[in-house]
Amino acid sequence: MVKATPVRQMKGPMTGIALRLSLALAAALTLAACTKDRSVGLSPDIQVVQLSELPASSGTQAYTVGPQERIEVTVLDAEPLGGTYLTDSEGYIAFPLVGDLYVGGKTPNQIAVMIADRLRGEYIVNPQVRVRPAELPVPSISIGGEVVQPGTYPSATSQTLIRAINNAGGLDEYAKSDDVLVMRNVGGQRYIGVFNIEGIQRGNYPDPVIYPGDIVTVGDSPSRRNLENILQFIPLLSTSAILIDRAIN
Task: Quote the pLDDT of residue 148.
Answer: 94
Contact between residue 88 and residue 68 where contact means Cβ atoms under 8 Å apart: yes
pLDDT 10s digits, 177-213: 888 989 888 877 888 888 899 899 888 889 999 999 8
Task: Quote the pLDDT of residue 52.
Answer: 66
Go through the domains of the chain in sequence order and give each one's CATH number.
Answer: 70-133 (3.30.1950.10), 140-221 (3.10.560.10)
Task: Quote the pLDDT of residue 85.
Answer: 95
Low-confidence ranges of the chain (pLDDT < 70): 1-52, 59-61, 224-249
The model's pTM is: 0.59
Structural element, H or E, at residue 30:
helix 16-33
Task: Quote the pLDDT of residue 56.
Answer: 83
Task: Quote the pLDDT of residue 138.
Answer: 83
Task: Quote the pLDDT of residue 2.
Answer: 36
Residues paired with residue 73 on neighbouring β-strands, in sequence order? 83, 131
| Residue 4: Cβ-neighbour burial (10 angstroms; 0-12, 13-18, 19+) | buried
